[in-house]
Structure 1
Amino acid sequence: MTRQQIHVTDLEAAINWWRERRPSPDNISAAPEVRALAEPYALLAVSRATLLDVTMLKPLALDAWLAWYATLPDSPCIAICSTAQGDPVCKGCGRSFEEVQHWPALDPFEKRAVWHRITLEGTAWRFNRYAERGGRS
């Protein structure tokens, strides 16, 4: 079994998402969800790490992260699947054949790890020639 981890960029995105939804009334205090996510974010910053073990999240932070995650598109698929034609990596979305095949069974942390990898690689068509299908304009 792989370790469930959250990338620092996802923590930051979740914090910013919550800050937009629950802004500080006095520009000093933060919403409970923001505070809950800020603590593990600070731990990553202090240790200069990029990945956080999910087990390090307190329940409120996990719930806040999962609420943010629920707003994201589930699959990177852009309906151009070259793995169906025998490619080991899909030209459309950048996932491996195994990732495409097992996607429904992956947990949110595994899915975000795949999203992070394919975004960094940036070679899939969803990031260039068919970006509009992937939701980018």
Structure 2
Amino acid sequence: MPSLHITDIEAAINFWRARKPSPDGVTLAPEIRALAEVYALMVYYHEDEVDQRGFPAKAWEAWMAWYESTPDTPCIAICSTSQGDEVCKGCGRTFEEVQLWPGMDPAEKRATWRRITIEGHSWRFNRYAERAAEGPAEPPISDENAADA
């Protein structure tokens, strides 16, 4: 069973810190407390990964809320595995990962995301980075709106 990497725990904590900032600089939201407990144990025991089995329920709920805010797939709609490549030039996933993606659990998907991000060789990280950018694209400025810009 795949493990959750400490960087994903950190990202989830930061997600909740932005969403529910401390009112007094000391008090933490319940989601942050739950994730911080896991994070602190990982740091204390010098662990980079934690098995998702046995993950505390409140921490899992907080992690899943963060996970659901992330892009579902690394696909940038340029799939070279359909042309016979073992590793997709567009997203960096292997043929097997592309085929099994819909059935992967969140930890498996995050492990794949981590690997392709670290490798950083796929077009999603260079040639077509703008296509992979998170968030909606800016609408083009029309002639009518050009005067306002």
Instruction: Tell me the TM-score normalised to structure 1 length.
Output: 0.95
Q: Choose which of 35, 39, 42 in structure 2 pairs with 1:41.
A: 39
| C-alpha deviation, 1:46, in angstroms | 1.3
> Residue deviations 1:53-91, cap 9 Å, x none?
112421100000000000010000001100000000001
Partner amino acid for 2:129?
A: A
Q: Choose which of 8, 23, 35 in structure 1 pairs with 2:21.
A: 23
Partner amino acid for 1:49?
A: E
Instruction: Tell me the TM-score normalised to structure 2 length.
Output: 0.87
Percent of residue pairs bearing the same amino acid type:
60
Partners of 2:5 and 2:49 within 8 A in 1: yes
Cross-structure match for 2:119:
121
Distance 2:8 2:42 in 1: 12
Q: Choose which of 86, 89, 107 in structure 2 pairs with 1:88.
A: 86
Note the aligned Cα RMSD (angstroms): 1.2
Cross-structure match for 2:76:
78
Partners of 1:40 and 1:56 within 8 A in 2: no
Partner amino acid for 2:108?
A: E
Q: Choose which of 54, 63, 66 in structure 2 pairs with 1:65.
A: 63
| C-alpha deviation, 1:48, in angstroms | 1.6
Cross-structure match for 1:51:
49
Structure ID, larger Rg: 2
Distance 1:90 1:131 in 2: 15
